[in-house]
C-alpha cells in the first residue's frame, strides 16, 4: 500500500543518513524514532527577515565532480547564535524556507567549563516541527563551520562546510550515498566481546596483534600525564557511559574535504575544516544517543593528521590500522586512553567499514571523509 511504501521510504532514509555511526564501530542507534516523534516545531509564521541567525543557500558552485554544490551566505555569529532559539535556512532553489527550533546547544564557554576536548567548537541542534527535519552545526571563534541538514520531505542531506575558503553546501539524495562494507567475517564466540577495566591487548586470548605492547594498562607510564591533561574527565573507565575516541585522518582526506585536489598544499585552513568535520561527527552522534535514550557518550580524546600514511582501499586501511601497521597509532591510542580508533580517509567506492566490537582489539573503523557527517 501507499502507506507501507511511505513508511519504508522514511525508514530507509533515516538509516542511510546515519552513516556517521560507522565512526564508532557500527554501533546501532534507533535514531528514526527520535526524529519522527511528536515535536514542537518553530513558529513557522515567523518572518524570516526577523531571524538573527540564518543560512541562505545561493547559486550553484563548482559541480565538476558531479556533486550538487551551492554557495552559502551564513549569518551565524558565534557570540549571538551559539544559544539562539531559532536558526533559519532559506532554500530558494527548492522553494522552501525552514525554521529550526533549538533542542540542544552547547557553547564554547560551556565546553571549556566542562574541560571538553573539543571546546573550540560551539554546537547547535534544532528540529523543524513541520516534518521532523533536523539541522545541526559546529563553529569556532573564527567562523569555521561544519553542519548537516537532514531534509525529510525531499529525502536529501545537505552538508555545510568551507571549501577553498568559500562557504558551501553539498546536497545529496539519501539514496546516492555510497554503501558501507560489512564487518570482516571472523569466526569467534560473541560472548568473548568484553571491555573490562583490566583488559590489555597482551591479555586478549587467541588474537594475533603484531607490534603492540600495551593499551590502557593501569601501570601505563603515560597515565598520570594523560589524567592531568584531561582534568576531571576520567579515562580508563569501561562502564560504557563514556567511549573515548581517537580520530586520525589522511592528507588526501584533508585536501578533498576542503574542496582541493588530493595532493594539495596543506594549511591551517585545511586543518581547521577537518577538525570542524570531526567535531560535528562527535557532537551529532552524541545528540543521536541522547534523543534515542542510549546512556552513553563519545568523548574526543585526541585527533590528528597522519604524516605519512596513504590509503589504498577501505578494507586494506582498516586491516593496517588494526594490525598496528600505521606508525604511531597504537602508541597514541595508549597515550590518550582511546577505546576506539577511527580513521578518516578518501575512498571513491565505499563509505566505510569497521570491526564489530566491543572487544578492545576490534574497536577500529575507517570512514570516507564525505560520509562522516
Per-residue pLDDT tens for 2-49? 444 444 444 443 433 344 444 443 333 322 222 222 223 344 444 444
Residue of 272 and 203 predicted with greater confidence: 272
Question: Cis peptide before 62, with omega less than 30 degrees from 0?
Answer: no
DSSP 10-64: HHHHHHHTTGGGGGGTS----HHHHHSS------TTS-GGG-SSEEEEEEEE--T
Residue of 49 and 282 predicted with greater confidence: 282
Q: What confidence tier does 91 reach under pLDDT thresholds 50, 70, 90?
A: very high
Decide if pLDDT at 221 tops 70. Answer: no
**CB-based contacts of 210, cutoff 8 Å, min separation 6:** 323, 324, 325
Decide if pLDDT at 214 tops 50. Answer: no
* Whole-number pLDDT of residue 116: 65
Of the ranges 8-12, 217-221, 328-332, which is most confident?
328-332
With residue 318 as reference, give the H or E element that holds it.
helix 314-322
**CB-based contacts of 105, cutoff 8 Å, min separation 6:** 82, 83, 84, 122, 123, 124, 125
Separation CA 302–CA 346 (nearest Å): 20
Condensed to tens digits (0 to 9), the pLDDT of residues 240-259 reads: 788 999 999 999 999 999 99
Phi, psi (degrees; rounded to nearest 5) at 225 = -60, -40
Residues in the chain, total: 373
Q: Say how many CA atoms lie within 13 Å of 316 toward its Cβ.
A: 7
Partners of 271 in the beta sheet?
A: none
Distance of CA 8 to the CA centre of its chain: 25
Lowest mean pLDDT segment, chosen from 76-85, 192-201, 280-289: 192-201
Q: What confidence tier does 77 reach under pLDDT thresholds 50, 70, 90?
A: confident
Say if strands 86-91 and 68-75 run parallel, antiparallel, or are unpaired.
Answer: unpaired
Residue of 305 and 221 predicted with greater confidence: 305
CA dist 29 → 25, 246, 247 (Å): 12, 21, 21
Within the chain, strands assigned E span 54-61, 68-75, 86-91, 96-106, 122-128, 133-139, 145-151, 156-163, 166-173, 242-249, 297-305, 340-345, 352-354, 364-368
| DSSP character at residue 92 | G
Condensed to tens digits (0 to 9), the pLDDT of residues 149-176 reads: 999 999 999 999 999 999 999 999 999 9
Q: What confidence tier does 66 reach under pLDDT thresholds 50, 70, 90?
A: confident
Separation CA 65–CA 149 (nearest Å): 21
Mean residue pLDDT across the chain: 78
Asked if residue 112 lies in contact with residue 118, where contact means CB atoms within 8 angstroms, the answer is no
**Cα separation of the two ends of the chain:** 33
Percent over 90 (pLDDT), the chain: 58
Asked if residue 257 lies in contact with residue 273, where contact means CB atoms within 8 angstroms, the answer is yes
* Whole-number pLDDT of residue 60: 87
Name the one residue in this structure whose C-alpha cell is 597514541: 332
Decide if pLDDT at 104 tops 50. Answer: yes
**Average pLDDT for residues 225-250, to the nearest whole number?**
67
Neighbours of 186 (CB within 10 A): 9
Amino acid at each position: 500500500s501507499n502507506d507501507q511504501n511511505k513508511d519504508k521510504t522514511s525508514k530507509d532514509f533515516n538509516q542511510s543518513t546515519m552513516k556517521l555511526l560507522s565512526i564508532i564501530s557500527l554501533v546501532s542507534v534507533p535514531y528514526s524514532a527520535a526524529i519522527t516523534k511528536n515535536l514542537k516545531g518553530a513558529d513557522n509564521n515567523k518572518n524570516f527577515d526577523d531571524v538573527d541567525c540564518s543560512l541562505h543557500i545561493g547559486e550553484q558552485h563548482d559541480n565538476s565532480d558531479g556533486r550538487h554544490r551551492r554557495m552559502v551566505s551564513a549569518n551565524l555569529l558565534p557570540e549571538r547564535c551559539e544559544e539562539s532559539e531559532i536558526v533559519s535556512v532559506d532554500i530558494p532553489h527548492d522553494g522552501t524556507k525552514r525554521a529550526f527550533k533549538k533542542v540542544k546547544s552547547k557553547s564554547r564557554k560551556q565546553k571549556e567549563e566542562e574541560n571538553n576536548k573539543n571546546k573550540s567548537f560551539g554546537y547547535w541542534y534544532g528540529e523543524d516541527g513541520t516534518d521532523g527535519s533536523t539541522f545541526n552545526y559546529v563553529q569556532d571563534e573564527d567562523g569555521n563551520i561544519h553542519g548537516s541538514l537532514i531534509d525529510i520531505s525531499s529525502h536529501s542531506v545537505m552538508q555545510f562546510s568551507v571549501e577553498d575558503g568559500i562557504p558551501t553546501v553539498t546536497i545529496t539524495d539519501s539514496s546516492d550515498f555510497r554503501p558501507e562494507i560489512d564487518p570482516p567475517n571472523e569466526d569467534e564466540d560473541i560472548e568473548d566481546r568484553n571491555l573490562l577495566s583490566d583488559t590489555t591487548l597482551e591479555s586478549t586470548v587467541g588474537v594475533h596483534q603484531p607490534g603492540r605492547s600495551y593499551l590502557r594498562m593501569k601501570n601505563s607510564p603515560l597515565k598520570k600525564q594523560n589524567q592531568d591533561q584531561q582534568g576531571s574527565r576520567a579515562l580508563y573507565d569501561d562502564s560504557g557511559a563514556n567511549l573515548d575516541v581517537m580520530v586520525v585522518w589522511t592528507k588526501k582526506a584533508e585536501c578533498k574535504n576542503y574542496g582541493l585536489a588530493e595532493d594539495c598544499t596543506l594549511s591551517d585552513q585545511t586543518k581547521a575544516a577537518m577538525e570542524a568535520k570531526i567535531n560535528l561527527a562527535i557532537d551529532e552522534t552524541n545528540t543521536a544517543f541522547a534523543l534515542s535514550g542510549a546512556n552513553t557518550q563519545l568523548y574526543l580524546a585526541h585527533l590528528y593528521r597522519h604524516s605519512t600514511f596513504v590509503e589504498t582501499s577501505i578494507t586494506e586501511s582498516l586491516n593496517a590500522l588494526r594490525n598496528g601497521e600505521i606508525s604511531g597509532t597504537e602508541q597514541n591510542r595508549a597515550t590518550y586512553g582511546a577505546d576506539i580508533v577511527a580513521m578518516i580517509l578518501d575512498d571513491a567506492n565505499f563509505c566505510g567499514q569497521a570491526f564489530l566490537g566491543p572487544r578492545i582489539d576490534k574497536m577500529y573503523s575507517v570512514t570516507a571523509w564525505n560520509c562522516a557527517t
